Amino acid sequence: MVSDEPRQVVVILGESVRRDMLNCYRNTGLKTPNLDRLASQGIRFDRAYNCQPVCAPARSSIWTGLYPHTNGVWGNSIPLGETVHSIGQRLHDRGIECAFTGKWHLSGTDYFDTGMPAPGWNGAYWYDMRRYLSELTVEDRLRSRKSATGDDPSWTSEMCYGHRVTNRAVDFLANSQNQDFLLVVAYDEPHDPSLCPIEYSRMYENFVFPSDPNVTDPLTRKPVEQHIWANSLLHGGTLAQHPKPIQAKHFFGSHTFIDMEIGRVLDQIEKSAPNALVIYTSDHGVFLDSHRLNDKGPAMYEEITHIPFIAKWPGKAPANAVSKELVSHIDLNGTLMEFFGFEVPKTLEGRSMLPMLKDPSVSVRKEVFIEWGRYEVDHDGFGAFQPIRCICDGRYKLSVNLMVTDEFYDLESDPGELKNLIDSLEHAAIRNDLHDRLLNWMNESRDPFRGYYWGRRAWRPDFPEIWANAGRTRQRENDGYLPRELDYDTGLTMGNATRSK
């Protein structure tokens, strides 16, 4: 891109925000005026998906352009691999100022990270949650981890993490008007403990989130782990019981509070970087009792994988537009590399969606891939190790749940994903085509968990009994950080990265 104007991008990342928690996607009674404003000024993408529906793995793909099984973060509390580079490091090494304020969650330590900036990101603006906690007294640290604190009028916006994250973002924008930059603003709220000033939670004192029919999903012919998960929430009840109405005033209040904080960022962008590319998305959604499940976990349902994605680019992206084309978080890195005028490294596993930001009718992919490893390594709960690989082409979704029942849904006729069609003869050809594409992706991305057992399923008895799998060697391409790999058979510099073993 050749231009006299500075090249500027702001990426705003939400936490635990499902697509229909924004009014621009669905009017539920939740208040999101600033995100709705952003959507009216740019493109709302209606078919955007994450790469794994849990915090750290989702973020790992957003910031590295690599799937969790490649970058090493296949569960919370696992660090990025030593040879993995974030978009901040890639752009910084090419002369672009990069600032990250907010939740990182990729140091491999705990929820709050280390207080030390990741490579490439400006240390003056780095503000992970450990830095926030270090500013609080011991008493206020304890208060900051309890939802009930939100009922105390003394817990003002100035005490909230999200407000302090915004302060740094606004300061960076005010001081970076004439330079190239990438600014990331990553909020933690409305994630538990969902703290916000009391006036926000009071907005939702008697609010009930409108439920969908799948809150009474009988989970017929669904994976057994989902039955166990659902039963764990019923405290001795049965699946026939209807879940309680969702009345999480703190959760929804902090969601609207963060929308207000995003409004502060958007206002400063209009003052300091009016032509900047602005992207909003969320790491994952939450169930809110859909499929009788809560929070997020080892499942590929729309509520936790289908995320909001909005882009505003004055003079380039049309205003108040809607795209029905598929979008994946894996493509963000390639998009940013191309935006700043750099070659997209071959090592990235996504592609650039920059053409989509100019024309919402353009498509850059025919399918998205989603996976699951485990929830987190330092916790014995949440289903532990439940390997899943998923492909969705926009209408059909296939989930291979390695150790339990697989799932296949027609999102057009069954948007609530109530009817598992995995054994449907009528859909076998479509299912098998998606299965072949899924297995090919696992091979091409060098998924360390790939192998025969993902192919030979009860519904796919024609899959060949072959020990060698695809029988190929797949070495890494060069991305400028490591020397070219050497051929195992010769010890000489690698020629073709993919070849017969």
Residue 361 and residue 412 in one domain: no
Residue 306 and residue 272 in one domain: yes
What is the Cα–Cα distance from 305 to 399, expressed in whole angstroms?
12
- pLDDT value of position 239: 47
Residue 266 and residue 304 in one domain: yes
Last residue of a domain, one of 365, 387, 418: 365
222 part of a folded domain = no
Residue 444 and residue 315 in one domain: no
Last residue of a domain, one of 365, 389, 407: 365
Active-site positions read 55, 105
Average pLDDT over residues 247-263: 94
What is the Cα–Cα distance from 152 to 403, expressed in whole angstroms?
46
Domain with residue 117: its CATH number is 3.40.720.10
- pLDDT value of position 1: 42
Average pLDDT over residues 483-492: 90
Claim: this prediction has a pTM higher than 0.85: yes
Lowest-pLDDT choice from 16-30, 125-139, 223-237, 326-340 = 223-237
Percent of the chain with pLDDT over 90: 85
234 part of a folded domain = no
Last residue of a domain, one of 365, 397, 423: 365
344 part of a folded domain = yes
| 247 pLDDT more than 80 | no
pLDDT 10s digits, 448-466:
999 999 999 999 999 998 8
- pLDDT value of position 235: 45
Residue 201's Cα: distance from chain center in Å?
26
Local structure of 146: helix, strand or coil: coil
Mean pLDDT across the chain: 94
226 part of a folded domain = no
What is the Cα–Cα distance from 212 to 19, expressed in whole angstroms?
14
Residue by residue, DSSP assigns 186-222 as: E--TTSTT----HHHHHTTTT--PPPPGGGG---TT-
Residue 403 and residue 339 in one domain: no
225 part of a folded domain = no
Residue 327 and residue 405 in one domain: no
pLDDT 10s digits, 32-79:
999 999 999 999 999 999 999 999 999 999 999 999 999 999 999 999
Q: Is 39 exposed, middle or buried (0-12, 13-18, 19+ CB in 10 A)?
A: buried
- pLDDT value of position 384: 83
Residue 445 and residue 488 in one domain: no
Lowest-pLDDT choice from 89-98, 203-212, 439-448 = 203-212
pLDDT 10s digits, 141-191:
999 999 999 999 999 999 999 999 999 999 999 999 999 999 999 999 999
Q: How many domains does the chain have?
A: 3
- pLDDT value of position 2: 45
When pLDDT is cut at 50, 70 and 90, the band that residue 16 belongs to is: very high
Percent of the chain with pLDDT over 70: 96
Domain with residue 397: its CATH number is 3.30.1120.10
- pLDDT value of position 236: 47
Residue 55 and residue 164 in one domain: yes
**Looking up tokens 């449907």, which residue turns up?**
424
Residue 431 and residue 359 in one domain: no
Residue 360 and residue 340 in one domain: yes
93 part of a folded domain = yes
1 part of a folded domain = no
Residue 459 and residue 477 in one domain: no
Query: Which structural domain, as residue segments, surrounds residue 475?
Result: 471-501
Residue by residue, DSSP assigns 262-295 as: HHHHHHHHHHH-TT-EEEEEES----TTGGG--S
Average pLDDT over residues 324-331: 98
36 part of a folded domain = yes
Residue 351 and residue 408 in one domain: no
